[in-house]
């Protein structure tokens, strides 16, 4: 038996062992994706992570001395401990991070480990949970931001919770306008751009991801303000106009993220200054 075949079998055995170890996570994952409670878009993050980190020679290798194997084992132990105290989604984060570390090791994608692991975690069905826990606070912040922005342009808008009132009309910032989907999509875009580089460090990824939340809030505030102006002046608006305003806000957000990624690329490839 050749060494190459033996190595591929070791990789397959390791991946199978992790698949069996985390079978409750896969069951929960499938249920969340197929029961209508969440959206399957996370699978796109998983596909991008695997496609962009797949080895060029199409050979997976298992190096037991790789520190990432130890990190994966530690995360697996964490998962086992969380089984008794944590919710399924928290356990799933530990499980996907462990699988991601193993995948990065066998695929030889250590230079892009941070972005690959982040995409694996983003593949989880998170949107429904984020909407439950963060939806209302995001709606309230969006309503407050839109109120302040509109008042700067001469409107006399009063906010109460997630409702904005003006001249006897009340407009709600409802759940779909909370910005949760925009937040996930922006995070996915930032990681997808990063994983395509030859090398991306944790610092580089954090530089791109750190402004995601405030920029999403700003983009969502602009969207809410624009929709308020339209809806406050007309009884009903076409669904296409609502979607167009949302797309325009996200295009601005995407342009910012692409610019940030381009800046990080230039900084990471710029030659170091020669000391005098």
Q: pLDDT tens across 155-175, in order?
A: 889 999 999 998 888 888 988
Residue 149 is assigned to a structural domain of this protein:
yes
**Cβ neighbour number for residue 271 with a 10 Å cutoff:** 5
Of 91, 109, 125, which residue constitutes the final position of a domain?
125
Q: What are phi and psi of 274, to 5 degrees?
A: -85, 120
User: Is residue 157 domain-shared with residue 253, that is, in the same domain?
Assistant: yes
Residue 183 is assigned to a structural domain of this protein:
yes
Residue 275 is assigned to a structural domain of this protein:
no
Q: Are 127 and 32 in contact (CB under 8 A)?
A: no
User: Is residue 260 domain-shared with residue 158, that is, in the same domain?
Assistant: yes
What contacts 126, CB < 8 A, 6 or more positions away?
38, 42, 89, 184
The pLDDT assigned to 41 comes to 83
**In terms of pTM, does the model score above 0.85?**
yes
Residue 276 is assigned to a structural domain of this protein:
no
3-class DSSP assignment, residue 167: coil
Residue 218 is assigned to a structural domain of this protein:
yes
User: Is residue 89 domain-shared with residue 135, that is, in the same domain?
Assistant: no
Express each pLDDT in 200-251 by its tens digit: 888 888 888 999 999 999 999 999 998 888 877 655 556 677 778 888 888 9
User: CA–CA separation, 98 vs 96, rounded Å?
Assistant: 5
Percent of the chain with pLDDT over 70: 91
User: Is residue 110 domain-shared with residue 184, that is, in the same domain?
Assistant: no
User: Is residue 151 domain-shared with residue 261, that is, in the same domain?
Assistant: yes
- Give the residue among 97, 88, 99, 90 at the shortest CA–CA distance from 20: 99
User: Is residue 139 domain-shared with residue 264, that is, in the same domain?
Assistant: yes
Would you give the distance in Å from CA 161 to the centre of its chain? 27
Burial string for 170-203 (b: 16+ CB within 10 Å, else e) reads ebebeeebbbbbbbbbbbbbbbbbbbebeebbee
User: Is residue 84 domain-shared with residue 144, that is, in the same domain?
Assistant: no
Of 125, 147, 171, which residue constitutes the final position of a domain?
125
Q: Are 215 and 162 in contact (CB under 8 A)?
A: no
Lowest mean pLDDT among 100-109, 131-140, 199-208, 235-244: 235-244
Lowest mean pLDDT among 14-18, 29-33, 127-131, 133-137: 14-18
Q: With bands split at pLDDT 50, 70 and 90, how would you rate the model's confidence at 276? A: very low
The pLDDT assigned to 273 comes to 43
User: Is residue 211 domain-shared with residue 254, that is, in the same domain?
Assistant: yes
Residue 274 is assigned to a structural domain of this protein:
no
The pLDDT assigned to 175 comes to 84
The pLDDT assigned to 275 comes to 45
Q: What are phi and psi of 224, to 5 degrees?
A: -65, -40
User: Is residue 118 domain-shared with residue 134, that is, in the same domain?
Assistant: no
User: Is residue 116 domain-shared with residue 138, that is, in the same domain?
Assistant: no
Lowest mean pLDDT among 94-108, 138-152, 253-267: 253-267
Contacts 24+ apart (CB under 8 A), 206-210: 207/260, 207/264, 208/257, 208/260, 208/261, 208/264, 209/118
Domain count along the chain: 2
Q: With bands split at pLDDT 50, 70 and 90, how would you rate the model's confidence at 4? A: low
Range of the domain at 118: 3-125
Residue 13 is assigned to a structural domain of this protein:
yes
The yes-or-no verdict on residue 13 having pLDDT over 90 is no
User: CA–CA separation, 25 vs 93, rounded Å?
Assistant: 9
The arithmetic mean of pLDDT across residues 189-203, rounded, is 89
Packing angle of the helix pair 113-122, 202-209 (nearest 10 deg) = 50
What contacts 132, CB < 8 A, 6 or more positions away?
none
Of 82, 97, 125, which residue constitutes the final position of a domain?
125
* Token pair in block for residue 25: 């996570």
Instruction: Give me the chain's average pLDDT, please.
Output: 86
The pLDDT assigned to 238 comes to 62
User: Is residue 121 domain-shared with residue 166, that is, in the same domain?
Assistant: no
Higher per-residue confidence, 7 vs 144: 144
The arithmetic mean of pLDDT across residues 26-52, rounded, is 87
- Give the residue among 145, 147, 171 at the shortest CA–CA distance from 158: 147
User: Is residue 60 domain-shared with residue 182, that is, in the same domain?
Assistant: no
């Amino acid at each position: 038996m050749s060494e190459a075949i033996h190595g591929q079998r070791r990789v397959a055995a390791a991946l199978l062992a992790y698949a069996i170890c985390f079978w409750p996570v896969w069951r929960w994952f499938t249920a969340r994706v197929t029961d209508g409670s969440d959206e399957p878009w996370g699978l796109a993050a998983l596909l991008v992570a695997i496609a962009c980190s797949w080895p060029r020679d199409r050979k997976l290798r298992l190096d037991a001395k790789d520190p990432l194997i130890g990190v994966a084992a530690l995360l697996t132990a964490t998962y086992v401990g969380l089984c008794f105290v944590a919710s399924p989604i928290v356990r799933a984060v530990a499980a996907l991070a462990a699988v991601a570390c193993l995948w990065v090791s066998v695929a030889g994608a250590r230079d892009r480990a941070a972005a690959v692991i982040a995409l694996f975690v983003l593949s989880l069905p998170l949107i429904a949970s984020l909407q439950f826990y963060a939806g209302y606070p995001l709606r309230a912040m969006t309503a407050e931001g839109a109120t302040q922005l509109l008042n700067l342009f001469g409107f006399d808008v009063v906010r109460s919770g997630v409702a904005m009132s003006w001249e006897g009309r009340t407009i709600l910032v409802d759940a779909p306008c909370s910005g949760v989907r925009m937040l996930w999509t922006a995070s996915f875009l930032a990681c997808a751009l990063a994983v395509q580089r030859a090398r991306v460090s944790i610092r580089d990824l954090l530089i791109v991801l750190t402004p995601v939340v405030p920029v999403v809030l700003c983009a969502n505030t602009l969207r809410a303000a624009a929709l308020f102006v339209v809806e406050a002046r007309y009884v009903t608006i076409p669904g296409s106009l609502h979607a167009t305003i949302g797309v325009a806000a996200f295009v601005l957000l995407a342009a910012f993220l692409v610019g940030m990624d381009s800046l990080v690329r230039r900084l990471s490839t710029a030659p170091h200054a020669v000391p005098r």
